[in-house]
Amino acid sequence: MFINYAYAADAGPSSMLQSAAGIFPLVIIFVIFYFLLIRPQQKKGQEHKQMLSKLEKGDMVVTSGGICGKITGVAEDSVTVEIADNVRVKVIKEYILTIKGK
């Protein structure tokens, strides 16, 4: 009829090493995601902003909706695109994907 008591061990340096070893894979995964996903998207966004700032009258463009046309007017946040003879559409600059030429 003896009762034995079990006591928890003190948190020593070995538990600190185990918690640091558990965080290390998460840090590695974040670094991989940064270089494979986040950084390329930021670079692509910067290139797109530069392209939009260089839009000028006479450029042939393609919108995100697939409409091709010639820029006939440029405003601060939009452009006017002629998609057929005497058919002009006002498009917000962010929706222009590429410049095809002049």
Tell me the DSSP string of the chain.
-------PPP--HHHHHHHHHHHHHHHHHHHHHIIIIIHHHHHHHHHHHHHHHT--TT-EEEETTS-EEEEEEE-SSEEEEEEETTEEEEEEGGGEEEEEE-
* Domains contained in the chain, number: 2
Q: Which of 15-19, 27-31, 48-52, 67-71 comes out lowest in average pLDDT?
A: 15-19
Q: Are residues 82 and 101 in the same domain?
A: yes
Q: Are residues 67 and 102 in the same domain?
A: yes
d(CA 31, CA 87): 49
pTM: 0.68
Residue 29 sits in the same domain as residue 70? no
Domain that holds residue 67: 56-102
Tokens of 53: 């700032």
Looking only at the bridges linking them, the beta strands covering 96-101 and 87-92 are unpaired
Question: Is residue 4 in some structural domain?
Answer: no
Examine the domain organization and report whether 25 and 47 are in the same domain. yes
Q: Is the same domain home to 20 and 62?
A: no
Residues 71 and 49 in one domain: no
Task: Please check whether residue 3 lies inside any domain of the structure.
Answer: no
**Whether residue 62 is found in the same domain as residue 96:** yes
Q: What is the pLDDT of residue 92?
A: 96
Average pLDDT score over the chain:
88
